Amino acid sequence: MQLASTPRIEFLRELTTEILGVYGLGRTVVAIDGAEAAERAAFADDLAAVFGEREHPVFSASLRDFRRSRAEQERFGPESPERLLRHLYDFSLLRRVLLDPFRLGGSTGFVTRAFDADRDAWIQPTWLTGPSDATLILDGEYLNRKELRDLWSYSVLVETEADVVRFGPGGAEDAGTVTEHEVADRLYRGEVRPRGRATAIVDVSNPADPRRVFLDSC
């Protein structure tokens, strides 16, 4: 289905052309990283819609649906930024039921949702299959960490105006008003430096008109 042309859709069309130009054949995985869950998820959904417009088979998943249960998280100590960064998500489960079987291709089944974080309960798995040429778009935080980054064919770091407010000079972090999740994101940024790991950095401070950010290599 043809999407209505807007600056956001035109931007996503250009990004889709770039991705499919290199990774149009076989099973490929595109990671959408970023601290702001709503903007990150919306970007991933709209990108998937543009892939669909191209009639390229696409599947969507969210890291949110691969969390550990609250009881499992508590095994790693009281809630803290460190625990959120290290143990909020079950990366072994993510690989076992989604990433590894998806990348295998063929008739191998994969699962795009495994855990309902709101109900703190497992989801009855729905096993999917797809054609040999297909793309999986996965959104989530911390996706450029070393345990995962080699699994992505292409990765996008979505940044918002809130990132500048929190982490820029005189921002919320300097004022000591950040949440544990925001501190966890700061730890992630310090360890991983996702801006240097992502294939593309996209500023969605104006969601209607995203902008590509190119780092100064000098």
Pick from 7-11, 47-51, 105-109: least confident? 105-109
Pick from 90, 91, 92: which is nearest to 68 by CA?
90
pTM for the model = 0.92
- Span 156-207, pLDDT tens digits: 999 998 776 655 555 545 556 678 988 999 999 999 999 999 999 999 999 9
Give pLDDT, residue 106.
87
Mean pLDDT of 50-61: 97
Q: Please provide the size of the chain in residues.
A: 218
Q: Examine residue 51 and state whether it is found in any structural domain, yes or no.
A: yes
Rounded to the nearest 5°, which phi and psi values hold at 95? -70, -40
Per-residue confidence band for 143, with pLDDT thresholds at 50, 70 and 90: very high
Predicted confidence at residue 217, as pLDDT, reads 54
Residue 179 to residues 33, 77, 81, 172, 210, Cα–Cα distance (Å): 19, 18, 9, 10, 26
C-alpha 188/C-alpha 141 separation (Å) is 9
> Which single residue is written with the structure tokens 């991705």?
19
pLDDT band at 35 (very low <50, low <70, confident <90, very high): very high
pLDDT at 178: 77
Structural domain tally of the chain? 1
CB 7, CB 208: distance < 8 Å: yes
Q: Is the confidence at residue 218, as pLDDT, over 50?
A: no
DSSP secondary structure letter of residue 41: H
Give me 119's structure tokens.
């109900």
- The residues, ordered by sequence, that sit 6+ positions from 86 with a Cβ below 8 Å of its Cβ are 76
Mean pLDDT of the chain: 92
Which CATH number goes with the domain that contains 134?
3.40.50.300
pLDDT tens for 56-73 read 999 999 999 999 999 999
13 assigned to some structural domain: yes
Domain assignment present for residue 2? The answer is: no
Domain that holds residue 125: 7-213
The DSSP line for 44-86 is: HHHHHHHHHHTT--EEEEEGGGGBPPHHHHHTT-S--HHHHHH
Which pLDDT does position 161 carry in this prediction?
87
Question: What is the rounded distance in angstroms from the CA atom of residue 136 to the CA atom of residue 30?
Answer: 6
Judge whether 209 lies within some domain: yes
Nearest one of 88, 93, 95, 180 to 142, comparing CA atoms: 88
Q: Please tell me the predicted confidence (pLDDT) of residue 176.
A: 60
Separation of alpha carbons 62 and 5, rounded Å: 26
CA 211 from chain centre, in angstroms, equals: 18
pLDDT for the residue numbered 1: 77
Average of per-residue pLDDT across 68-96: 95
Q: What's the confidence (pLDDT) of residue 73?
A: 96
